Structure 1
Amino acid sequence: MKIEVIIIFIFAGFALLEAWRGKLLRRDGEVSDDARVEAISTLLVVAVTQPTILFTVSYLLGFILPEYRSALAETAIAFQILLLLVFDDMMQYWWHRMSHTFIPLYKLHRAHHNGKYMSIRIVYRNNIFYYAMMPSLWLSGVLIYLGLGEVYAVYLVVKMAVIFGAHSEWKWDRFLYNRPWLNPITWVIERTISTPSTHSAHHGLDPSDGITTYKGNYGNLLFFWDVLFGTAKISRQYPERYGVSGMLRADWKEQLFWPFYTTPRKQKAPSKDTDVSMPTK
């Protein structure tokens, strides 16, 4: 079975869980642009952006460095996994972190936080240029060219399953938190991979709730990067509200296509409402 099909089935599984719980469509706080942004961004990254990047890298390296094709194919699987964790997952951690500290990148990433809910729907919700510029996708293309394709396929299935679970409205980690006897295992899990609790905290609306953290919990597959680089916040709780506040309205075209489109605005947002998720200058 192709990797794309497996990932689609995992995505569909989380979507069905949310639908069964009545949490997939017509979410509280949803506005008319939300579904449009989510559908377009998901379709573009899966069908256009990622395949185009991988094809481009393969074509360019095949032309410039043909002798290095599959050069690492016979290396140990553990070594290949380590390369993927460092050059794909850790690099995505730093890209995500930069997107919350560097204003132009934040404007590409803000669409991901615009939704006032957690859901499988928002996994790929980003400005189209956010993924096109993502270093980890380009570096993954290089590693695939060097012969890590088979290991990458398995790695990507695991990574996307974790990311889907971290964004889903279905909080699978409640099972762990409600069973104190599992605490030693839970302690390891929540410091190793992204969980609904740690990633929901990153999407929270109000940092004064003691749970929300805009300046942390950036990990995608591994939450370990947050632990290692000092940006981890673990509360084993979930924010009651999600999204960003105090920013001028950005319609679906700006969310997807900024800087080539900016929503016409008549007035500035009230100064008392500042977007606490926005990078400080």
Structure 2
Amino acid sequence: MIEDTYAAFTGWLFEHTLQPVLYATGMMDWAEDLFAWLDFALRGLFGILVVYFVCRPLEAWRPVEPRQDGAAIRTDMVYTFLSRLGVLPLVAFVLLASLQSRWEGWLTEVGVMPPTLEELFPPLRDHPLLALVAYVIVLDFGEYWRHRAQHGFRWWWALHAIHHAQRQMTFWTDDRNHVLDDVLAALWFGGLALLIGVPPGQFPLILLLLRLAESLSHANVRLSYGRVGERLLVSPRFHRLHHGELSAGASGKNYAVLLPIWDWIFGTADFRRDHYPPTGAADAGEAMERGGWLRQQWAGFQRLALTIARRA
């Protein structure tokens, strides 16, 4: 019922807003792509609203620090709206799906077909909820290693430092990333989702779940899940240690997005309780810390070029 109402609303909105513009400009060939973007943007807007109504009351309840730098927070808001109303994860999923079909066609011709997660574990086919949990676990494992790569490779850290440069961290900080970093993350996440056979209908739900978890983990709230809970789900306290000034770069801790077990297994966990350090990256520079969106993006390009030149 809810899905039908949403589909009807999306169709009505497209028909009365975007479709007339396409007719007038002779661009109806783009109708299907634009409708897909509208669907993604509405889901993104819904995600922003969910995150706001979950995280903002928590930040008002028990903030770690007062909200003093409004300009920095507004810049992070720009990142959020550009990211969640944009199309990067969707484009990555659609683009890679097209490439995957060609790749699988070639593999079929040579007699090789890599199995999906449901083919490896057939019971998942009869239990959609269990399959969803399995997809989330595998994708979260992939996100842990992507995050470690962002800190481990100097050229990637040159971009990722934008995310760590924020000294006024709030739930808006989650999407504070360089565009190249976002592209790499979208390709990584979308590619892994296709590799394990995530159904297109479940992909937006998984994306919403992980993004809600990430936004909450960045929230400016003095919140721990306790001795047991901290080992089951990433909390704002657990992730704030990762953003502490001493945790930036390759020697960081607490890389997990949703499940701290990956940090636990691979020796990168820091479970100190009641510790909420200042955030920021000592090597980021003033442009990344205090600049607007364009200035931060340009600083990221400069750092990347300088890092590559030094390596060369």
TM over 0.5, yes or no? yes
Aligned-pair CA distance for 1:171: 3.2
| Aligned residue number for residue 133 of structure 2 | 81
How far apart, CA to CA, are the structure 1 residues paired with 2:190 and 2:301? 23
Q: Is 2:175 the partner of 1:138?
A: no
Q: Which one of the candidate residues 44, 48, 55 is aligned to 2:82? A: 44
How far apart, CA to CA, are the structure 2 residues paired with 1:162 and 1:99? 19
| Aligned residue number for residue 50 of structure 2 | 10
Aligned-pair CA distance for 1:118: 2.4
How far apart, CA to CA, are the structure 1 residues paired with 2:141 and 2:132? 14
5+ residue gaps, structure 1: 177-185, 208-212, 264-281
Summarize deviations over 1:147-195 as a string: whole Å, max 9, x none.
Answer: 533444443343233222211113343xx5xxxxxxxxx3332112111
Aligned-pair CA distance for 1:125: 0.5
TM-score computed with the length of structure 2 as normaliser: 0.64
Kept after mapping to 2: 8 A contact 1:194/1:221: yes
| Aligned residue number for residue 263 of structure 2 | 226
Aligned-pair CA distance for 1:261: 4.7
Kept after mapping to 2: 8 A contact 1:89/1:136: no
Matches for 1:234-273 after TM superposition, within 5 Å: 234-250=271-287, 251-252=291-292, 253=294, 255-257=296-298, 260-261=301-302
Q: Which one of the candidate residues 189, 207, 212 is aligned to 2:229? A: 189
Q: Which one of the candidate residues 47, 52, 56 is aligned to 2:95? A: 56
Kept after mapping to 2: 8 A contact 1:193/1:222: yes
Q: Per the alignment, do residues 226 and 169 of structure 1 end up closer, same or farther by CA in structure 2, a change over 3 Å counting?
A: same
How far apart, CA to CA, are the structure 2 residues paired with 1:156 and 1:4? 10
Kept after mapping to 2: 8 A contact 1:192/1:223: yes
Q: Which has the larger radius of gyration?
A: 2
How far apart, CA to CA, are the structure 2 residues paired with 1:216 and 1:262? 23
Q: Is 2:173 the partner of 1:115?
A: no
Aligned-partner residue type, residue 65 of structure 1: E
Q: Per the alignment, do residues 147 and 93 of structure 1 end up closer, same or farther by CA in structure 2, a change over 3 Å counting?
A: closer
Aligned-pair CA distance for 1:27: 2.9
How far apart, CA to CA, are the structure 1 residues paired with 2:154 and 2:175? 20
Kept after mapping to 2: 8 A contact 1:165/1:195: yes
Kept after mapping to 2: 8 A contact 1:41/1:127: no
How far apart, CA to CA, are the structure 1 residues paired with 2:227 and 2:303? 44
Q: Per the alignment, do residues 257 and 93 of structure 1 end up closer, same or farther by CA in structure 2, a change over 3 Å counting?
A: farther
The Cα RMSD (Å) is: 3.5
Aligned-pair CA distance for 1:242: 1.4
| Aligned residue number for residue 211 of structure 2 | 160
| Aligned residue number for residue 272 of structure 1 | none
Q: Higher mean Cα deviation, 193-202 or 154-163?
A: 154-163
How far apart, CA to CA, are the structure 2 residues paired with 1:50 and 1:246? 29
How far apart, CA to CA, are the structure 2 residues paired with 1:113 and 1:245? 9
Number of equivalenced pairs: 240
Kept after mapping to 2: 8 A contact 1:110/1:255: no
Q: Per the alignment, do residues 235 and 262 of structure 1 end up closer, same or farther by CA in structure 2, a change over 3 Å counting?
A: closer
5+ residue gaps, structure 2: 7-42, 119-123, 305-312
Q: Per the alignment, do residues 187 and 205 of structure 1 end up closer, same or farther by CA in structure 2, a change over 3 Å counting?
A: same
